[in-house]
């Protein structure tokens, strides 16, 4: 019988252990972790940039150029806030690991390396600031100021009592200022006051939630929490909540507002912030909410409905789109 002298055909090398697939999977998980670290669920905070567009003079809301620039400003601030979250998570990774909820963040959990987070933050920050200055030099300067303020907050300012929540509130004011600068409208002092007070109210409620949630371990997670107490924060919240409502009421009924919009009907929107603030206090005290204001707004239907109806009412009263039909 003839002997088979043929040699086996050489096959290309194939990874037996699936190392290529594992590497690709790891890369995909790291990319997903980086995106999660940008906290897209928190980007609703940047909707504040649309406030100057909504409260601008009649007709501005339907100007295509203004809409495009406002949307661009919103996108840029989403990117910049993502940069801030990356830096914050890098600096707080050790304390986050001791937090019952924050320990799941990708950087604290080790799913994203510090080097990857810092590289992504640097690239995204450079791109966002370049886009900001391309929109306008004044908008770029406001954007740069926002990043600088938040960087200071991630460093020394978050450890200074009262200054910490004021810094967070000023971040919202800068968002509103950026929205006005982007569409070239004069920013009302009422917008400054109402934005600052409302942001302070939300920030203090968040501090209270952290303090109650962490209990005796609060100072281990965030050193500044030792300077607060639920009673002190409740007193601050009462003062700021009342001030917010009073400021908005005076704004809606002031002769300056009536002259600007040509109507005195804006006072009809007062019930919306009244209900919204009371609902938020209810969620903080009765439902132990307030840890994530963005998630609270999205997940609580009555609060979300209140905000949407308030925006619709303001648009109908100020801009009167139905009158043009």
**For the residues of 18-41, what is the DSSP string, one character each?**
-HHHHHHHHHHHHHHHHHHHT-GG
pLDDT in the model for residue 21: 58
State which of 59-63, 154-158, 232-236 shows the largest mean pLDDT: 232-236
* Range scoring the smallest mean pLDDT among 4-13, 92-101, 219-228, 300-309: 4-13
| Residue 113, Cβ density class (10 Å: 0-12 exposed, 13-18 middle, ≥19 buried) | middle
3-class DSSP assignment, residue 200: helix
| pLDDT reading at 13 higher than 50 | no
| pLDDT reading at 179 higher than 80 | yes
CB crowding 34-55: b at 16 or more within 10 Å, else e: bebbbbeebbebbbbbbbbbeb
Model confidence pLDDT, tens digit, residues 73-84:
999 999 999 999
Length of the chain: 325
Model confidence pLDDT, tens digit, residues 112-170:
888 988 999 999 999 999 999 999 999 999 999 999 999 899 888 988 999 999 999 99
Banded model confidence at residue 24, pLDDT cuts 50, 70, 90: low
| pLDDT reading at 290 higher than 80 | no
Residues 33-49: what's their mean pLDDT?
A: 89
Residues 7-30: what's their mean pLDDT?
A: 54
Please state, in angstroms and rounded to a whole number, the distance separating the CA atoms of residues 181 and 70.
9
């Amino acid at each position: 019988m003839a002997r088979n002298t043929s040699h086996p055909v050489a096959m290309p090398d194939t990874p037996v252990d699936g190392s290529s697939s594992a590497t690709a999977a790891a890369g995909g998980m790291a990319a997903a972790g980086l995106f999660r670290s940008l906290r897209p669920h928190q980007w609703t905070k940047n909707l504040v940039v649309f406030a100057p567009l909504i409260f601008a003079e009649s007709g501005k809301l339907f100007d295509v150029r203004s809409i495009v620039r406002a949307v661009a400003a919103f996108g840029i601030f989403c990117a910049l806030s993502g940069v801030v979250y990356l830096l914050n998570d890098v600096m707080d990774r050790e304390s986050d690991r001791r937090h019952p909820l924050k320990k799941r963040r990708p950087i604290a959990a080790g799913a994203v390396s510090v080097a990857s987070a810092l590289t992504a933050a640097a690239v995204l920050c450079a791109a966002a600031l370049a886009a900001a200055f391309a929109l306008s030099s004044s908008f770029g300067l406001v954007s740069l100021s926002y990043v600088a303020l938040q960087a200071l907050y991630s460093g020394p300012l978050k450890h200074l009592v009262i200054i910490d929540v004021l810094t967070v509130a000023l971040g919202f004011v800068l968002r509103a200022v950026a929205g006005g600068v982007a569409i070239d409208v004069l920013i009302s002092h009422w917008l400054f006051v109402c934005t600052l007070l409302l942001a302070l109210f939300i920030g203090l409620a968040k501090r209270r939630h952290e303090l109650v949630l962490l209990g005796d371990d609060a100072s281990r997670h965030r050193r500044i929490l030792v300077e607060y107490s639920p009673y002190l924060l409740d007193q601050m919240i009462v003062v700021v909540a009342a001030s917010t409502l009073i400021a908005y009421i005076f704004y809606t009924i002031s002769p300056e507002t009536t002259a600007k919009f040509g109507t005195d009907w804006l006072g009809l929107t007062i019930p919306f912030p009244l209900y919204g603030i009371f609902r938020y206090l209810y969620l903080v005290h009765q439902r132990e909410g307030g840890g994530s204001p963005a998630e609270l707004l999205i997940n609580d239907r009555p609060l979300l409905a209140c905000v949407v109806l308030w925006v619709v009412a303001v648009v109908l009263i100020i801009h009167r789109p139905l009158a043009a039909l």
